[in-house]
Amino acid sequence: MIAYLRFFVRAIFLILLLLSGLLTAAIALPFMNRPVQDAVTKAWSCCLMLVCGVKVVRHGTPIMSGPVLWVANHVSWIDIFILNSWRATSFIAKQEIRRWPVIGWLVARVGTVFIDRGQRQAIGRVSESMKRLFERNICVGLFPEGTTSDGLDVKPFSTSLFEPAMRAHVAIQPVALVFWYEGQRSGKMAFIGDQTLIGNIWVLLSARHVCVEVYCLPAVTQNGQPSPLGRAELAAQVRDAIRAKVAQG
């Protein structure tokens, strides 16, 4: 009964927050300069985590200015907003997310680049979009697992979208997301398998004591400096760093 009440109260605030986000994105966001847009995105994402009952604990030193590629493990639809609550980030996301009700439209409005892996030219188009974002000193977020996991381990990485950052000599920084539920590591909040978005929202909003620790790990490349490693080796180094933190908890 308490879980139902918790869900009901949070759902009301979530709907109000989503409505405010839709209005802001549709009416005000196009007239804001980039710093104001970033500030609004960060503030809205922080509010979303508060409404969802998710405590975000940050560790490490993120690159907060200039272009950077944040490479993170992927557990839930809230990952985008967790990272946006730290620094406004334009994500590379699968095309399916664009079709999610409300959330898909919102993430599109804040600069998400969608990739349809079923199309032969998709990687080339996304690479060009990433290049333009880096030229504007924007933080780009990448989930190279290509899908979500239970958050207790890290799936193999797709390496193709490391290439644009390497060619631009942009810093690549690993980011590990570690999920906790009622004081223990858990995959309960993971958006995986046949679960629907609505089903996952129910799990999240009805739960308590949800915490996500975000670890910004040392960058493996620096701005303006070419990588001494090849793409596969670099991706493996990033994955190993994230996996070590995820396993350690």
pTM of the model: 0.93
pLDDT at 120 over 70: no
Q: Where do the domains of the chain lie?
A: 54-196+208-248
Q: pLDDT for 155-214, tens place per residue?
A: 999 999 999 999 999 999 999 999 999 999 999 999 998 899 999 999 999 999 999 999
The confidence score (pLDDT) of residue 118 equals 64
Q: Of 48-57, 125-134, 169-178, which range is least confident?
A: 125-134
Q: Count Cβ neighbours within 10 Å for each residue of 211-225 and write b for 16 or more, e otherwise.
A: bbbbbbbebbbebee
Spatial distance between the Cα atoms of 135 and 142, rounded to a whole number of angstroms: 17
- Beta carbons of 69 and 172 less than 8 angstroms apart: yes
Is 98 in a helix, a strand, or coil? helix
Ramachandran category for residue 244: left, alpha or beta (phi over 0 → left; psi -120 to 50 → alpha)? alpha
For residue 21, report the phi and psi dihedrals to the nearest 5 degrees.
Answer: -65, -40
Q: Count Cβ neighbours within 10 Å for each residue of 97-129 and write b for 16 or more, e otherwise.
A: beeeeebbbbbbbbbbbbbeeeeeeebeebbeb
The confidence score (pLDDT) of residue 228 equals 86
Which of 80, 235, 68 minimizes the C-alpha distance to 158? 235
Spatial distance between the Cα atoms of 200 and 215, rounded to a whole number of angstroms: 24
The confidence score (pLDDT) of residue 121 equals 78
Spatial distance between the Cα atoms of 56 and 52, rounded to a whole number of angstroms: 11
Which of 67, 113, 71 minimizes the C-alpha distance to 92? 113
- What residues does 139 pair with on adjacent strands? 68, 89
Amino acid identity of residue 229, one-letter, is L
For residue 31, report the phi and psi dihedrals to the nearest 5 degrees.
Answer: -100, 0
Q: pLDDT for 56-114, tens place per residue?
A: 999 999 999 999 999 999 999 999 999 999 999 999 988 888 888 888 888 887 788 88
Q: To the nearest whole number, what is the mean pLDDT of the chain?
A: 92
pLDDT at 222 over 80: yes
State in Å, rounded, how far the first CA of the chain is from the last one. 32
Say what percent of the chain tops pLDDT 70.
98
- What residues does 36 pair with on adjacent strands? none
Residue with tokens 């990739």: 115
Q: Of 7-16, 21-30, 32-41, which range is least confident?
A: 21-30
pLDDT at 245 over 90: yes
The helix or strand, by DSSP H or E, that contains position 58, with its residue range, turns out to be strand 54-60
